[in-house]
Structure 1
Amino acid sequence: MNTARNTVLEAWMKEHGHSSNSLADAVNKALERLTGRTGGLDGSSVRDWKAGRVKWPKTATRKALEDVTGLSATALGFVPRGRAPSAPAPPQEDPETMKRRTLVGGIAAAVAAAAAPGTAPPRRIGMNDVDRLQTRFAEIIASDHRQGGRLGLEQRAAALADEALNLQNAGSASQRVRSNLYAAAAAFRSSAMWAAIDGRRYGDAKAHMREAQALAEMSGDQAIKFRIWSHAGTMYRHMGRPADALAANDVARNLHITRRDPLFASLGHARQAATLGLAGDTAAVQRALGYAQDTLGRADRSLARPVWMTAACDGAELETLALAAHLRLGNFGRAEAHAHRSLTLLRPQMQRDRAINTVRLAHAQLAQGAAEAATATAMKVPAITATRHARVSRMLQEFGAALRATAPGSCTVQTWNEHTSAVWRAFRP
């Protein structure tokens, strides 16, 4: 008997930007939360669902899939066992066949009614919906750590912000749930903002910032307000506008959360130090880094905090920002020391930050006259990151220009030129 494709599931996956592999990963994580054991699904499992070869997944898998999507299995196009005829119907339908056909038709009609705007009965939006969004937010943060400011990441984050807002109108909800939905939308929009900053698309970043700020105000969430204003400070710093960067950082540093949680205070002081480095204020940089180190020492690192604060919790973010500040000030020896410490503290999954700090280390070494060591350091940046991440590419171009100015015509310059030519030939976007 021919199997019918599950076009409803295919449509949902396309709408939410899921490949077969990414949906399998999301369901595996949901299974682990439900059962305590990691799921064993892969892309081929999802392809079996789409092709109609598996019409009704196992109970735990169905529940995990429903947690991920927020929809029932039947609303996703799956058909319970026994609902469809198991053999071709005879030419003359008997009463039982007619009953089964009517039942299957009723299921299809129910699915169609759920998809039709304005016809579905209102549902209760709850913390399960918020938890599902938070899982997707963790996926966005993980992608940012790996890839940085790709346009696709920015677009996915913006789409998820819209999805969180759409839930506000999808049914009834408590005030707590509604506040959490606004916070989730603000979080996704802040990630879209950061991806645009990281990709040097500053006009888009400012548009995301304005929407994120409005959503954060409606949520009342202090942590996401801190993230948005801190990102604004970083954006203005990258744009070469230190006065605006300092003003944005001051908004973040004056939020109540920095008085409740020393870790937020530490991050605020460290980001202020990086901006003060751009302004060339050595004494202020030293003072801000001292405050950052002191408050980090008083923070209880065992407390649960937003997933985007991972690097702040282990001190890697403080070292990274100290590196940026001292590099701006021309304190190249101190910058090199902070670079080595940051690379030691950064977790393996933080590939973008590792690439950026590796290039900063190369700049610090070159400025101290160690051209050969600096070139060897710069060549450690993974080729795919060197060619496809806007900030890293620009920083490597600046390194090459500084190397040629420092050691013109040397073997080291020749080595660097050959390396970059080979990388761009192999990984041209």
Structure 2
Amino acid sequence: MTAHQMSAPELADAVNDAIGDFTGKTGTTSERTVFRWLSGENQWPQERQRRALEAVTGLDATALGFLPRGKRNTVPPALPKDPDVRRRKFCSAATGTAAAAVIPLSTPSSRPSRVGTSDVIRLRDDVERLVALDADRGGHGRLERAALAGADEALGLQKQSTTQRVRQRLFALASDFTATAAWSLIDAGQLDGAGRHLDRALTLAGLAQDPEMTMQVWNLRAMLARQRKQYAEAVAASQAAQATTIVRRSPLHASLAHARNAVGLAHNGDKRAALRCLGRAEDALAKADLAQPRSTWIAFYGSAELHSLTAIVRDVVGDPAEAEAASHRALAALPESYRRNRAHTTARLALAQLHQGDIEQACATSGDVFAIMAGAPLPGRMRQLLGDFQRDLIARAPSAHIAHEWTDRYRTEWSPS
């Protein structure tokens, strides 16, 4: 319930919808029934409720902590570290080669007559599926189109919803899908349409009255402005993110907002303010409980990402040695599964080494980017970063031969695909 941000009435609604899916008649589970499950008063729900709970959560009843009759004196089984096993397998399957060709969103075999929490959960799963695909291969056109299709479905469903709470959640999901489409374009280096998507996502976040979605959109707006070299706008967008109520409530979100502001201030030439923001980001992250469930869009953020953003700030303000150290800390903290983050941070490390005049080491480090990606297409944003490296290499190399050799060596891997 915490992971899905569900109240007891919403879980009861989802269970009743699921019962309706396989019996043809909506269930009668009440809020009180849910509280009895939570308290342990009812340790083994009725069969149809167990089936519905398994359908809603992707977990069997014992993994949810229930005990079959006759086993009440045994210790309840511990929840797995990765509780939503079905979703994890589902997302993993989505990142395979078949999913790279087509990205269909989930389509239930039979639509419940009443739009409710089960639809919210299903669409949230679809958002997570798209995020998993983005993590595997980066932003691309099919991902954008699939995300916009998800937004259209969420908006269609909100028109049929019978409760204000579900309508607002569907507006929030539409905002999330639309922001995902915008991020796909930003990551692919196709910036023209991203701003339009973000404008729409911000409107939807407002209709949802969802401060976290609002903060997500302003965070992406700051990234887009920086990519366009509109640094004053990047600062303004990151400050708008800082003003959202989720930032006041959540140290994790506050840390990201301060770090993003630091990047914009650094590019805008305000070194002292940028370093102050980095300090605030570090202080806020130290207060965050990283073990708590969080929204999919901010799952990437933690100490590794903060070190990576610190490396950008330090390099931009003219402290390449500090940038190199921060890049090494980021690489040490990154999980192995974050391949694209590792490649991007490695490219930043190469730039920091280059800016210290260590030409040979910088060229060797930049070559690691292609090894990390292992022949996978480089997202447009990463190609742009390598373009920055090439330009700086040409400007700083003692001879043109070194830059030409680097370009010739990596031309094939670097070329768009």
Q: TM-score, normalised by structure 1?
A: 0.70
Alignment partners' CA distance in 1, 2:337 and 2:311: 20
Q: 2:393 matched to 1:403? A: yes
- 2:137 maps to 1:147: yes
Per-residue deviation, 1:33: 1.1
Q: Deviations over 1:201-252 (max 9, x none)?
A: 2220111011101110111111111000111111111111122111111111
Correspondence 1:350 to 2:338: yes
Aligned AA for 2:339?
Q
Aligned equivalent of 1:381: 369
Corresponding position: 1:419 with 2:404:
no
Q: Which residue of the partner structure matches residue 339 of structure 1?
A: 327
Letter in structure 2 aligned against 1:405 = A
> Alignment partner of 2:133: what SS?
helix
Query: What letter corresponds to residue 250 of structure 1 in structure 2?
Result: Q
Report the CA distance between 1:30 and its aligned residue.
Answer: 6.8
User: 2:107 maps to what in 1?
Assistant: 69
**Count of matched residue pairs:** 326
Secondary structure at the residue paired with 1:213?
helix
For the pair 1:159 / 2:159, whether they are aligned, the reply is no
Residue 258 in 1 paired to residue 247 in 2? yes
Q: Which amino acid aligns with 1:33?
A: G
Q: What is the RMSD of the two structures over their aligned residues, measured on CA atoms? A: 2.8
Deviation at 1:148, TM superposition (A): 2.2
For residue 390 of structure 1, report the CA deviation from its aligned partner.
1.1
Which residue matches 1:291? 280
Q: Shift of residue 359 of structure 1?
A: 0.9
**1:176 and 2:165 are equivalent in the alignment:** yes
Residues 292-311 of structure 1 show CA distances to partners (whole Å, capped at 9, x for unaligned) of: 11111111222221112122
Specify the alignment match of 2:5 in structure 1.
none
Q: State the match for 2:31 in structure 1.
A: none
What pairs with 1:35-54 in structure 2 (closer than 5 Å)?
35=60
Matches within 5 A, 1:81-92: none
Shift of 1:347: 2.6
d(CA) in 2 for partners of 1:387 and 1:414? 22
Contact conserved, 2:161 with 2:167, CA < 8 A, in 1? no
Q: State how 1:14-29 maps to structure 2 within 5 Å.
A: none
Q: 1:422, CA displacement in angstroms?
A: 4.5
Q: Which residue of 2 aligns with 1:323?
A: 311
* Structure 1 residues without counterparts, runs of 5 or longer: 1-28, 44-66, 76-121
- Other-structure match for 2:195: 206
CA contact (8 A) 1:182 1:215 kept: yes
Measure the CA separation in 2 of the matches of 1:411 and 1:197: 33
Conserved? CA contact 1:253–1:265, under 8 Å: yes
Equivalent residue, structure 2, for 1:238? 227
CA distance in 2, matches of 1:428, 1:355: 16
Corresponding position of 2:352: 364
- TM-score normalised according to structure 2 size: 0.72
Mapped to 2, the partners of 1:250 and 1:38 lie a distance apart of 38
Partners of 2:141 and 2:308 in 1: CA distance: 24
Gaps of 5+ in 2: 1-53, 64-84, 94-104
Name the residue aligned to 1:221. 210
- After superposition, the Cα gap between the structure-2 partners of 1:242 and 1:411, relative to the gap in structure 1 and judged at 3 Å, is closer
